Structure formats: C-alpha cells, structure tokens
Amino acid sequence: MERSIGFIGLGRMGLPMAHNLLKAGAALRVYNRSKQKAAELATNGAVVCEAAVDTIVPGGVVISMLADDAALEQTFTPALAARLGPGGLHISMSTISPATAGKMAAIHQAAGAAYVASPVFGGPEQTAAAQIWICVSGEESAKQRARPILEKLGRDVEDMGTDPAAANVVKLCGNFLIAAATEALAEAFTVAEKQGVNLTAMNRMLCEKLFGGAVYQRYGSRVLSREHLPAGFQLLLGLKDMRLTRQMADAAKTPMPVVDVVFNRLLSQAAKNRGDQHWTGLASGAREDAGLPA
C-alpha cells in the first residue's frame, strides 16, 4: 500500500476510513470543511490541510468520500485534477450518479490522471471495523494501484470492470434493493401486526432463517423495533440515492416502478421532518397508511 495519501471528506464514513488508513501506516493529508473532525485525526499523525487542493501531491493518490454529486463536482474541479496530474490517482468512494462518474473520469483523463470509482456498502460501524463491501471500476492499472489501499478499508473488493461509471450503477442498484426490501418488510410487518401475529417470532422465522442475510437481519430488526435514531445512514441520503436511481433508469429507458414507490415513501417521510432518521424510517409510511402510529 502506498504510504502517502490525501483524504477529502470526513463525514460518518470518511472519518473511520481515515482512522483505518492511519492504523495501516499511511501518512495522511486530510481536509474537511468542519475542522473539528480533521483535528481528531491530527492527534494520530494526520496533516490537516486548509484547502482540498493541499491534500494533493502531483502524481500521488487522493481519496474522496463526499456527500453527493454537487459536493464532488465543487471539490474536484479541473484545476484539482490538473494538480494531481500525470501518474496521479483519485479514488472516489462517494455514492454519485453514473453520469457524474463519467464526467469526473473525463476531467481526470484530460489532466493525465486516473479516476477509480469505489462506492461502498455498509454503515459507520462496519466502516470502523473495516468490514464494508467495496465496488470498484476504472482503468486496470489504476485499480491495481488502488486495491491495496481499498483492502485496508473493507472486507471485500469486487471489480465491476473498466467503465468508471459501472461501480456507481451497482451501488445505486444495491441501495434500491435495500430500500425495496425495507418497504416490503414494513408492509409485511404492518399487515401481520393488524392480524395479531407475534412479530418477534415472525422476524425470527422470516428475517433470520428464511431470508437470512445482512439486509433482512439488520433492517428487519430496525423496522420491527421502529428505532430509526440514531442514523448511520440518513433518510435524506436514501432519498438522494433513489432520485439518482430514477434518473439512471430514465436515461437507460428502463422502467423501474418499485423505485417510484420507495422514492415517494422516502419523500413523504422527509416532508414530515424525518429526514435525519435512519432511512428505515420509510417504514413509518406503511404503518401510517394502515392507521397505526409511526
């Protein structure tokens, strides 16, 4: 693994990632709009930069973990890509649209730098434990350079090909499946509750045994308990991702009617000022529609 790395974006996911890289022996240059989070890393040896561009060494490696397309585009301007320059590598771990990923790749290519998309599955707890799943796509030699770094951050790195947008397609599809599963769980638990069924036993039977797996076990328990705070992944971010999925489907002329269901469910909850909840909060909508308390 390369030792000298720049890191931009120290939110709920970026901060534990940066900690893991420091533990792995990396010399980090970090930037975050909120200096408090960056200061936390300084005590462990990171160099805190005053601007995003200061994290970049020409020909070096920089990682970004930013909230959305706008944040990434505002940060990684052609000027920053030019500073990265020939031999440089940008590992973008944000959940963004495939279109923005393609645009970013073109900006970097024009500067002689490489761009690798590496969005992740997992929350802050899994990130802190280096147990996230990572999708990666981009030019082969760039992925080979990125892999030793990514392997310090997650439990598995899955290659999605050379198209820099491919990993973001997979990420959006994965988040769509999680949202759809959550909606299905909410509807199933709601109708069962109204029939007087023991929901704990139902959850054990369906989510732990029949549909055993990380999503059904973790999300089934949250839907059942109705504990949507604190939020590792906020409902507003889930709404953003479903908006991107709808846009992706539209661009590909692919009907995805279930996306509309979960998008509107999330939008309804956001309109009720529940955007800071975990995105399993979308389950409240099914309960309210059935006349049950959220």
DSSP state of 91: E
Are the C-beta atoms of 222 and 139 separated by less than 8 Å? no
Catalytic one of 171, 209, 253, 272: 171
Kindly list the strands in the beta sheet with 89-92, ordered across the sheet, starting from the edge strand earlier in the chain. 47-48, 27-31, 4-8, 61-64, 89-92, 114-117
Are the C-beta atoms of 177 and 211 separated by less than 8 Å? no
126-133: long-range contacts, CB 8 A cutoff, minimum separation 24: 127/13, 127/16, 127/17, 127/20, 127/153, 128/16, 128/19, 128/20, 130/20, 130/154, 130/155, 131/155, 133/158
How many whole angstroms separate alpha carbon 179 and alpha carbon 103?
Answer: 27
Are the C-beta atoms of 102 and 75 separated by less than 8 Å? no
Cβ neighbors of 135 (< 8 A, separation 6 or more) are: 117, 118, 119, 120, 121, 158, 160, 167, 170, 171
> Among this protein's residues, is 171 annotated catalytic?
yes
**CA-only gyration radius of the chain, Å:** 20
Catalytically active residues, by annotation: 171
